[in-house]
Amino acid sequence: MNVRFNIPFKHEDALKNMAASIELGKTSGNHGFSKACHRFFKESIQSKPLLTTSCTDALEMAAILADIQIGDEVIMPSYTFVSTANPFLLRGATLRFVDSKADHPNMDEALLAQLINERTKAIVVVHYGGVSCQMDTIMALAAKHDLLVIEDAAQCINAKYNNQPLGSIGQAGAYSFHESKNISCGEGGLLLVNHKEWEKRAEILWEKGTDRAAFWRGEVDKYGWVDVGSSFLMSDILAAYLLSQLKHLQQIQQRRMDAWNYYDAKLQTLATKHDVLLPIIPSYAKHNAHIFYLVVKDKDQRVSLLNYLQKAGIESYFHYQSLHNSQYFEDKHEGGKLPNAGRFADCLLRLPLHYYLTQAQQDFVINEIFSFYKNMLGE
Ligand SMILES: *Cc1c(COP(=O)(O)O)cnc(C)c1O
């Protein structure tokens, strides 16, 4: 049996919408389909949404809005994707990496205070697998030290911290619609501007440093170059694709949650019998079934299990390398050891999880995992 790791959701409306955009001849950014996507987000999130070409670009906008200057320090987890770091590095920031929690890849909020000094400007939080960080603690610490909080909420559509949508809590947040995420349009992203004073400037950065968006609304009688900016807008063709997915968000989420809960229920004995860590969801987090992972005993066991599953036709993957240990950053890292990030980098593996995954396929995956441990113990 072949079990794919991810298959993006498909709906016939995707092609219909994209054809309509092309027929209309309105294929650049901020036309009808983009506006429809923006309306969709405004209905559930009290923030200003701006569709971007990627989450990476949305984070670049956030770094400009945060006015990051050379030498400013920015704190972020080490166990994350490079796109959390690059936008801040490109503005000249010095990165300070914080370790993960012992039982979860998210940043350990208890370790933040010791990294803060007079040069610290912002904390970038990453909600791993759509599971929220401890935002009350982080926001209170940021307020105390006058720091900005930017949420890399790339994986977080539909996920919440208590009743607040992730990405809407810090001054700005960013979603991704990359092929690998719950909702996708190939490549795409969304900036959520939560800080009212940034709204106007965000729109200008988005439109290459011009006040074009205000012009289209009739707020200014001509438009021109008023600030720095870049070409951050998503094409309306991709917004058309994205809209076809957003319309089915609840259906997609229901299916993913069911599959996630099924793994969780069936794999519990691994935790008790074989010392495997399964995802832990804190009471304040409403996750979105983005990732189901196992954290096994050590790196060797992960290699063996990945090979075992691969031989059975099951696609399973590890995830991030710790950024502080990367080829690019290793000699720039001045912080201490980050053992928990190292453990997730070495021992975490992700199981297939997508809309089209059947229960028969899940049973197969689950059985193969149990048979791996049985063989290993020579039972
Ligand atoms: C996917 C992802 C990104 C990058 O998103 P793009 O839309 O591909 O730019 C950034 N951060 C995290 C945590 C991600 O999972």
Give the domain CATH number at 302: 3.90.1150.10
Which atom of ligand 1 is nearest to 176's Cα?
Answer: 7
Q: What is the pLDDT of residue 376?
A: 82
Mutate to test the pocket of ligand 1, among 152, 157, 190, 234 (most ligand atoms within 8 A of CB): 152
Is 116 within the bounds of a domain? Answer: yes
Confidence of residue 379 (pLDDT cuts 50, 70, 90): low
290 and 231 together in one domain: no
Is 197 within the bounds of a domain? Answer: yes
For ligand 1, is residue 178 a contact (CB within 6 Å)?
yes
Confidence of residue 377 (pLDDT cuts 50, 70, 90): confident
137: containing domain:
12-246
User: Domain end: 211, 246, 281, which one?
Assistant: 246
Helix H, strand E, coil C: the string for the chain is: CCECCCCCCCCHHHHHHHHHHHHHCCCCCCCHHHHHHHHHHHHHCCCEEEEECCHHHHHHHHHHHCCCCCCCEEEEECCCCHHHHHHHHCCCCEEEEECECCCCCCECHHHCHHHCCCCEEEEEEECHHHCCCCHHHHHHHHHHHCCEEEEECCCCCCCEECCEECCCCCCEEEEECCCCCCCCCCCCEEEEECCHHHHHHHHHHHECCECHHHHHCCCCCCCCECCCCCECECCHHHHHHHHHHHCCHHHHHHHHHHHHHHHHHHHHHHHHHHCCECCCCCCCEECCCCCCEEECCCHHHHHHHHHHHHHCCECCECCCCCHHHCCCCHHHCCCCCCHHHHHHHHHEEECCCCCCCCHHHHHHHHHHHHHHHHHHHCC
Q: Is this structure's pTM higher than 0.75?
A: yes
Q: What is the domain count for the chain?
A: 2
Q: What is the pLDDT of residue 10?
A: 96
pLDDT digit string, tens, across residues 236-280 = 999 999 999 999 999 999 999 999 999 999 999 998 899 999 999
Is 1 within the bounds of a domain? Answer: no
42 and 178 together in one domain: yes
For ligand 1, is residue 244 a contact (CB within 6 Å)?
no
Q: How far is the CA of 51 from the centre of ligand 1 (A)?
A: 14
Residue 73: CATH number of its domain: 3.40.640.10
Q: How far is the CA of 153 from the centre of ligand 1 (A)?
A: 8
Higher-pLDDT residue of 223, 133 = 133
Percentage above 90 pLDDT, the chain: 95
241 and 332 together in one domain: no
Confidence of residue 378 (pLDDT cuts 50, 70, 90): low
145 and 53 together in one domain: yes
209 and 238 together in one domain: yes
Whether the predicted pLDDT of 230 surpasses 80: yes
User: Domain end: 224, 246, 268, which one?
Assistant: 246
pLDDT digit string, tens, across residues 315-351 = 999 999 999 999 999 999 988 899 999 999 999 999 9
Which atom of ligand 1 is nearest to 58's Cα?
Answer: 9
For ligand 1, is residue 80 a contact (CB within 6 Å)?
yes
Mutate to test the pocket of ligand 1, among 106, 176, 185, 322 (most ligand atoms within 8 A of CB): 176
Is 6 within the bounds of a domain? Answer: no
Percentage above 70 pLDDT, the chain: 99
